[in-house]
Amino acid sequence: MATIAHTHNAAATSGIAGRLMAAIQHMQENRARRVIYRQTVRELNALTNRDLADLGISRAMISRLAHEAAWGSK
């Protein structure tokens, strides 16, 4: 059964239909990552300076931390 699924996946990735499906999946993944980024920025910006200081975070770090949460560290 796994062999059939693997063969089907290999056939699906070839040709224009496979490339289109891969492009759509890539766009969906990027959209989900942007949602995580925006949510992280929104939540960290909602904290007070005191709360951020307790966490060891400055306001200047929020964008970088949100990027790491969504896309991983560089």
Centre a 10 Å sphere on the Cβ of residue 74 and count the other Cβ atoms it contains: 6
Whole-model pTM: value is 0.74
Q: Is the pLDDT of residue 24 over 70?
A: yes
What percent of the chain lies above the pLDDT cut of 70? 81
User: Residue 3: its pLDDT value, please?
Assistant: 47
Query: Side chain identity at 61, as an amino acid letter?
Result: M
Q: What is the DSSP string of 57-71?
A: --GGGHHHHHHHHHH
Of 8 and 60, the structure prediction assigns the larger pLDDT to: 60
d(CA 71, CA 54): 25
Query: Side chain identity at 73, as an amino acid letter?
Result: S
- Are 33 and 71 in contact by the 8 Å Cβ rule? The answer is yes
User: Residue 14: its pLDDT value, please?
Assistant: 75
End-to-end Cα spacing for the chain: 38
Query: Side chain identity at 23, as an amino acid letter?
Result: A
User: Residue 48: its pLDDT value, please?
Assistant: 97
